[in-house]
């Protein structure tokens, strides 16, 4: 169970759970403000782009000392060292105290977990509370890692989980979790996925057409809007490849602050160009093509996380120092 450090004078039980990180995850692979959902969205030029920049001392390769090369930046963003710049302080503290937990920021999740997380992050709560809720329900004692597990847990346990997460709108969130699991088992699950983790029926019904998939999910999942759909398709695209490479507007802003391409195709081209020099052995994926797509998604998540935490500049400085 993922919780913030206890207040003084209280006893907080230590979470017991099993970590599943990129390097240990194997998934079935075939083949946070609103924004327009378009792959390859380009960031609009702002007034800040026209402001003159102070001259910085140049390195031998022509890269400024304060600005990393594209290779340095990508390599640092894919490293575990970068994680703490892209997530809330309470998640960092909890992870230091209890290493064996799964977090939204650092773990490779299955499609069910991704969609459940997107629903929670779509609620009118802070990003920090959203991440805390996700980590609470994915870990012990709840392990809401499949639709079957959520349904078997029952309403009382759903409610206890959100109370333990100390999130807002507890009754509504607990109800939404239960309803979502029911929909997955009834509408999204194929005969070879009795636990309801892969959601393959969505892809089959929609002929792996992204726009049809978005509309299908929107019409069947209560509370899932454009923001939640963008989050889900951004993170699941290394497994659901029909819309790859996709960059939503929110993530494009984060990429722009780091000096990376905010166009999906251009960023994908950069990942491929530097692939042979990137440290990627720890990433999830059964083969190199899958790991490349996973790397693309990790870069998107780190860019968004660093922006949300106000640490984009710190990320750039640390990447330049590596």
CA 222 centroid distance within chain: 21
Name the phi and psi angles at 64, rounded to 5. Answer: -65, 150
Domain carrying residue 254: 32-47+57-321
* pLDDT the model gives residue 26: 44
Give the mean model confidence (pLDDT) for residues 2-11. 43
Whether residue 243 is contained in a domain is answered as: yes
- In this structure, the dihedral spanned by the alpha carbons of residues 238, 265, 261 and 278, taken in order and rounded to 10 degrees, is 50
Whether residue 8 is contained in a domain is answered as: no
pTM of the model: 0.80
Whether residue 168 is contained in a domain is answered as: yes
Q: Place 61 in a pLDDT band, splitting at 50, 70 and 90.
A: very low
Give the whole-angstrom CA distance, residue 73 versus residue 75: 6
The helix (run of H) or strand (run of E) holding residue 103 is none
Number of domains in the chain: 1
Whether residue 19 is contained in a domain is answered as: no
Whether residue 21 is contained in a domain is answered as: no
Query: Is pLDDT of 176 > 80?
Result: yes
Whether residue 218 is contained in a domain is answered as: yes
The helix (run of H) or strand (run of E) holding residue 2 is none
Give the whole-angstrom CA distance, residue 222 versus residue 212: 17
Q: pLDDT tens for residues 267-284?
A: 999 999 999 999 999 999
The pair of structure tokens assigned to 204 is 């089959």
Whether residue 17 is contained in a domain is answered as: no
Please report, for the domain that includes residue 153, its CATH number: 1.10.340.30
* pLDDT the model gives residue 7: 43
Whether residue 13 is contained in a domain is answered as: no
Q: pLDDT tens for residues 33-45?
A: 333 344 444 444 4
């Amino acid at each position: 169970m993922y919780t913030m450090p206890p207040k003084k004078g209280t006893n907080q039980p230590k979470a017991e759970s099993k970590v599943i990180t990129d390097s240990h995850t194997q998934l079935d692979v075939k083949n946070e403000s609103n924004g327009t959902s378009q792959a390859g969205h380009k960031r609009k030029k702002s007034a800040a782009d026209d402001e003159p920049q102070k001259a910085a001392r140049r390195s031998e390769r022509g890269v400024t000392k304060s600005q990393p090369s594209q290779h340095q930046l990508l390599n640092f963003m894919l490293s575990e060292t970068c994680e703490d710049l892209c997530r809330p302080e309470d998640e960092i503290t909890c992870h230091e105290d209890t290493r064996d937990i799964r977090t939204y920021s650092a773990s490779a999740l299955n499609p069910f977990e991704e969609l459940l997380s997107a629903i929670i992050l779509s609620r009118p709560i802070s990003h920090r509370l959203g991440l805390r809720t996700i980590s609470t329900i994915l870990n012990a004692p709840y392990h809401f890692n499949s639709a079957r597990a959520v349904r078997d847990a029952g309403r009382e346990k759903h409610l206890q989980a959100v109370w333990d997460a100390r999130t807002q709108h507890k009754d509504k969130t607990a109800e939404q979790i239960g309803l979502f699991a029911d929909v997955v088992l009834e509408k999204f699950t194929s005969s070879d996925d009795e636990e309801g983790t892969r959601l393959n029926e969505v892809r089959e019904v929609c002929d792996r057409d992204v726009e049809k998939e978005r509309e299908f999910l929107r019409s069947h999942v209560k509370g899932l809007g454009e923001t939640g759909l963008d989050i889900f398709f951004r993170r699941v695209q290394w497994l659901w490849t029909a819309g790859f490479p996709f960059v939503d507007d929110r993530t494009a802003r984060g990429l722009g602050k780091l000096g990376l391409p905010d166009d999906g195709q251009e960023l994908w081209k950069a990942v491929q160009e530097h692939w042979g020099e990137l440290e990627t052995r720890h990433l999830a994926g059964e083969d190199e093509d899958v790991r490349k797509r996973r790397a693309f998604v990790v870069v998107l998540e780190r860019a968004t996380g660093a922006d949300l935490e106000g640490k984009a500049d710190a990320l750039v400085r640390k990447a330049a120092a590596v």
